[in-house]
Amino acid sequence: MRRKVIAGNWKMNKDIQETVTLVNEIKERLNGFNKNVEVVICPPFVSLVVACGLIKGTMIKLGAQNMYHQNDGAFTGEVSARMLKAIGCEYVILGHSERRQYFKETNEFINLKVKQALANNLTPIICVGETLEERESGVTDQIVSTQVKGVLAGLTQNDIEKIVLAYEPVWAIGTGKTATNEQANQVHKLIRKLVAQLYSWALAEKLIIQYGGSVNQQNAFELLSQSDIDGALVGGACLKADSFVSIIGAAGEVG
């Protein structure tokens, strides 16, 4: 059975002091929680070192929200996988729709980052998902398939065992509109089938595919109960300890 992975994408929210407060609140609420759920927090770069110190000895893992695809060099303003690993990150979110939309990241560029993350033993959480226009034009399957093939290009079987995919319909991110359980599960099944065709069913069955898009404490249990939804990438609801830990609790209940 696949484990559930709940990751909080803090985006550009919380300064250092607010990070300390939120991490401590999450820790407090998770105290004694002993279900098999992988919990990841992804604060902004400047808070990663502090967050890493605070989560030592807990079940919480650390992730970054982005990285560059070179390890060092003259790339002003960028941060590398090697640097993230060195400060205790285990995960990195790649290809989030906000990066695709505002920073024009392409599948090819995201693919370079995925390879570099894996080379540095970081688990990439790779995001894919269609816009509202694409869904309404009936091309969701095509768009998501192209994205999955693009971001996974050149990866080995061994690499696929080390990644997490996140299906995040763009129209559901930060909008309060969630995909229905059926809509989400249908795309998760499509992704799993595609990975089976590209690699094998054995590998596809092990692949963690998170859902993201307005997940909250009210809808988490239903979404996480779907056959092919293996966790959640949470934006807005991860910024409050109560809602984030409720979602983790829902994942624990589903098992």
Spatial neighbors of 96 by CB under 8 A, at least 6 apart, are 9, 65, 66, 127, 168
Distance CA 247, CA 255 (A): 13
Question: Per DSSP, which regions of 72-149 are E strands?
Answer: 91-94, 123-128
Asked if 173 is part of the footprint of ligand PEP (rule: CB under 6 A), the reply reads yes
Distance CA 62, CA 155 (A): 24
Question: Which of 145, 214 has the CB closer to ligand PEP?
Answer: 214
Question: Minimum Å distance from CB 187 to ligand PEP?
Answer: 14
Residue nearest to ligand PEP (CB): 235
Give how far the C-alpha of residue 78 lies from the chain's centroid of Cα atoms, to the nearest Å: 20
For the record, the structure tokens of 170 come out as: 């763009």
In the three-class reduction of DSSP (H, G, I as helix; E, B as strand; rest coil), residue 212 is classed as strand
Q: Phi-psi bin for 70: left (phi > 0), alpha (psi -120 to 50), beta?
A: beta
In the three-class reduction of DSSP (H, G, I as helix; E, B as strand; rest coil), residue 69 is classed as coil
Asked if 213 is part of the footprint of ligand PEP (rule: CB under 6 A), the reply reads yes
Binding mask 6-45 toward ligand PEP (x if CB under 6 A, else -) reads: ---x------------------------------------
Question: Minimum Å distance from CB 138 to ligand PEP?
Answer: 23
- Candidates 48-56, 58-66, 133-141, 166-174 — which segment interacts with ligand PEP by CB under 6 A? 166-174
Asked if 215 is part of the footprint of ligand PEP (rule: CB under 6 A), the reply reads yes
- Candidates 45-53, 145-153, 193-201, 228-236 — which segment interacts with ligand PEP by CB under 6 A? 228-236
| 188 classed as catalytic | no
Question: Minimum Å distance from CB 102 to ligand PEP?
Answer: 13
* Whole-Å CA distances, 32 to 27, 29, 43, 253: 10, 8, 23, 15
| Cβ atoms 230, 255 nearer than 8 A | no
Asked if 134 is part of the footprint of ligand PEP (rule: CB under 6 A), the reply reads no
Spatial neighbors of 31 by CB under 8 A, at least 6 apart, are none
Asked if 209 is part of the footprint of ligand PEP (rule: CB under 6 A), the reply reads no
Asked if 233 is part of the footprint of ligand PEP (rule: CB under 6 A), the reply reads yes
Asked if 229 is part of the footprint of ligand PEP (rule: CB under 6 A), the reply reads no
Active-site option among 69, 130, 168, 188: 168
* Total chain residues near ligand PEP (CB under 6 A): 13
| 168 classed as catalytic | yes
Question: Minimum Å distance from CB 212 to ligand PEP?
Answer: 3
Q: Which residues are catalytic?
A: 96, 168
Point out which residues bind ligand PEP (CB under 6 A): 9, 168, 173-174, 212-215, 233-237
